[in-house]
Amino acid sequence: MAALRRLTQARRSPTERTALAGEAAAQAAEADLLAAAPGADTAQAPDRTTVAGPGAADGTPEPEPAADGGPAPKGAKQPKAPAEDHTPTPDDPRAAAFFDCDNTILRGAAIFYLGIGLYRRRFFTRRDVARFAWQQAWFRLHGSEDPAHIADAQDTALGLVAGKRTADLEAICEEIFEEVIARKIWPGTRALVQMHLDAGQRTWLVTAAPQEVARIIARQLGMTGALGTVSETADGAYTGRLVGGLLHGPAKAAAVQALARREQLDLSRCAAFSDSANDIPMLALVGHPYVINPDAALRRHARAMGWRVRDFRTGRKAARIGLPAAAGLGVLAGAAAAAVTVRRRQRAACS
């Protein structure tokens, strides 16, 4: 049966895989909510052939970040949401807010920080880093993503976690992001999240990062839950395959639609926030689209559509790290960056 399921999935069209990735993300998000419900048996894991694993947002808000992204001192004034934002309708059961992660809530890419953490724990070989560094160099020179490179990055990343225990990777993610969340959150976007929470609305993180990473970030921000890329698992370990594919671009929109059906949301009453033109399908779904720290293509689109733009960056625009990796699960992005950093430090020490 498992072999037949894999064969059937391999024959799916790109549109079908996109829909499957969205449904898998919505199913995983609901499984997380059930696991977090009072009295839930947290030792009972959901179907691991379609859901990445247990865990969920517990709804406990974290301390508000300071202006530099770190936690604010006790009693410090909370950041305010930007002026001219729409006011969420209090306690509207059919309204929610969907937030992209990278460069929208988090400074930089979640996969970048995960990659650094995994590299330090020897998940990667030097050959993996060298190959990925070449792919990154190709992207920077040509300014576009090579589909073959994206596929290779995804296959390499999945191969690295194949056979690894899901509980082990989740424990590592907890360690990595406990520190990252304290330092890398955009206070302005964090205030927007809190604005919806204060109105009694549900808030969801939507990201191409693995579901394990997504749920941890959402939990630490006090969000309702998360939609992320779902990896196939069996007997508590990763198989090295994705369920459907990456939660990227149209797949994010599919996940939001799938969750809206499950949660009985009215998307015309919902809001969505993102920095990337890749997320235009998701932004176009909702009645209140917001553009946060946008790339050039999304800024142009937002102007043409009359969407509200908020830029919380100061000085030069935030660097875009590991774009091909983000489109291909991207775990190796952090490894390449970490290797470059180590080499630079070694050179500086010798000079």
Active site members: 100, 102
Q: Are 216 and 173 in contact (CB under 8 A)?
A: yes
Which secondary-structure segment (H or E) carries 173? helix 166-184
DSSP 3-state percent helix, strand, coil across the chain (nearest 5) = 50, 15, 35
Dist. CA 173–CA 82, nearest whole Å: 31
Dist. CA 24–CA 193, nearest whole Å: 24
Dist. CA 28–CA 150, nearest whole Å: 25
Structure tokens at 175: 């360690």
| Antiparallel, parallel or unpaired: β 271-274 and 288-292 | parallel
Segments of 244-311 assigned E as strands:
271-274, 288-292, 308-310
